[in-house]
Amino acid sequence: MTTYLAKCLGVALGLVLLLGGQSAASEDYKVGLDFLDTELDRLIRCEYRPQALGVVLYLQRAGRIDIEKSEWVMADGESCWRVTPSLSFRGEDFFAICVTTGDPELVKLFPKLYWRGPGTAPPDRFALLSQRSHADLSKWARKSLPMGNYRVEANRSTFKYKPGLSELACTVL
């Protein structure tokens, strides 16, 4: 777990150093977008535990999410933020992201990003939320994504927004 935490913190630190003090219009911002595309691809393929700390910090630093305003909370330990403007990934737009971690050290280090309720730790999870139907998002995923362990899920009952939405997610217990 220590190596895992070190890797996550290394990605986050590298991102902060990459963007440190630069405006959104700078060349470093464009490099950051390449980082974002690469990280989203890695997270959604679900080849490793989906630790999205770097992505969340990047989106916050770029002014695209406000970590002070988690707009809704899903299940135990899951925080979600609206992304403005929507996040484009492989030609599809996603309006929000959701994250969880079962790592107690990350919960302690980043209490505005991760939280824990009582009981069993949540899984590590990263999700992109779409306004498309489950059927449409599933069709897009089959055509646009490489093989991976991702899932396309229909609107979960704990969502606090309109029904009919879906998500592209990686969950590792």
* pLDDT 10s digits, 131-163: 888 899 999 999 998 777 889 988 664 455 556
Using DSSP bridges, classify how beta strands 124-130 and 72-73 pair: parallel, antiparallel or unpaired.
unpaired
Look at residue 128 and give its three-state secondary structure.
strand
pLDDT, mean of residues 18-47: 66
Q: What does the pLDDT look like over 103-126, one tens digit per residue?
A: 989 989 998 888 887 777 788 999
Name the residue range of residue 35's domain: 2-172
SS3 sequence, 12-80? HHHHHHHHCCCCCCCHHHHHHHHHHHHHHHHHHHCCCCCCCHHHHHHHHHCCCCCCCCCCEECCCCCEE
Cα(66)–Cα(81) distance, integer angstroms:
7
Domain count, the chain: 1
* Distance of alpha carbon 99 from alpha carbon 95, whole angstroms: 14
Helix (H, G, I), strand (E, B) or coil at 94: strand
pLDDT of residue 154: 81
Token couple for 15: 């991102």
The pLDDT, as a whole number, for residue 74 is 57
Instruction: Output the pTM of the full model.
Output: 0.78
